[in-house]
Structure 1
């Protein structure tokens, strides 16, 4: 019996190395160590935890520690990740955000539930735009000044590309993990709006509805652009966020700890991660246009606490930042250098001109 089980485990491991099965079926993480023998997919440990919450749909086992029956192995062999993708992701709207293993839990959970529980993408549902052209509902919005979360009615309209919210009295102060940060630029100044909903499905629905509305708007505004170009401009994760210290333009200026957010070429810094408006912004152009990123060793002075330094030179001035650890220093350096290595687009030249005019 032991020999049979060893052979069964070996067979499962062989199946996990077949094309399509070497990455998690739901988030793409390499070398998945679990499999669903009712859906026929190989998944990572995190997505496996989500599958366990769908016991009527998905039953999972470890590839190495569990006992595998012959009929379960045959089911895996006749299905697999590629077949599941063809079935459960047949009609995913082009704007819909497909989470990766680097994304938050609520995005991954709702992606898995949308595929297998609600079978949301097995049938074509008309156009790739926002269903009905309008989405409205109640979200809890964080106040700009007092930090309270208050219920507000939001209306997203695809036709004119607007997201509006209306005041509705509700003094209850709340916090929740199903949050969404909406960042937009008006008059070349970024603004953050923080909202959440108690229902994870609803907050992910809003996230993708905003992507749908923007996708429609950009298809109209840029008719010659292909879907890939437009998708790169839709709401997505920031390139990087985190704390650094920053000094002013004068050698005598002190260092101050700030929260930094890098949105493509726009580096914004805030006193607090939940601030509505940035205290300042830095435009990151390309190397060929005079932008440089270098490393700096910053000795501890009366003002700076961290000494892992990064210098960003623009045509107008040089900015000096310090990071808390070598790991953060290397991470920020990598993303900065990647951004400035990419040639600027015509649109980005216009944004750069606005920054220069503002400064």
Structure 2
């Protein structure tokens, strides 16, 4: 399968204070999120001047990916489109059509199967192609990559770097805590079942092994919605409190669920969780996300090469491997159809 372009498809984020509320309304449209919840989240963005770090990171990743492809003899243009903010994927796909792009590989900034992390991007592709009309480019969404060797090694390396910021005494007693975005338990049950949470748990085991840890914890974060609706547990803040009560003096937090420094990372972890740790007398360091790491661009290029050359997907072999989707073409359901269930309700 040959490509004449690449599309980086992401979540989007505001670039100034005046964009924060419209952006959040886009994100939560149809989910019945109370206005006061939007006000709370808006304050997180406004703390950083109303600017999400994700767009800057994605633009840097695009440059890394473009250079990596050129190094492999593929001088392909790399386009950028978002679900919730400019540049909107609909506008980008229209531009690709106008530029005569026939077939593009779509790399999404999510490593997982599941509705929000996979199916919704498939829906974005279908919607954008429909808007572009009959001459729209063929769009091939690359597979989730939670068990790709480069994904595992990036996080193993960043855990090691974070650990290096602790003293030798702190390192000796430090607890490794993985965290990923929580979703409603019912939504997780519908897919797989529990495909998303199983993939996260499996990836955490692979990363921990690669980083040299035999013992670790998996937690969840950034839940929203009515408090009576069960979400994946334990919450990272609750778990930190439990560790502190048990006498833990240092933690290494690895946001394995995120491929870039979203607000959920730089606010929920670097601000709120770090403040909680300091108050509890726990030394906390955070492992970096992949962001625009050169190995992350290499991962994207590897996924493209899997389709170009018909290669077997490159996966780390661990205990009790968890299935993942394969490619999706033009917004068709993933193959196998692990993510075919409907939209989660917050």
TM class by shorter-chain length? under 0.3
The TM-score, its normalising length taken from structure 2, stands at 0.20
Larger helix percent: 2
Larger radius of gyration: 1
The TM-score, its normalising length taken from structure 1, stands at 0.20
Larger strand percent: 1
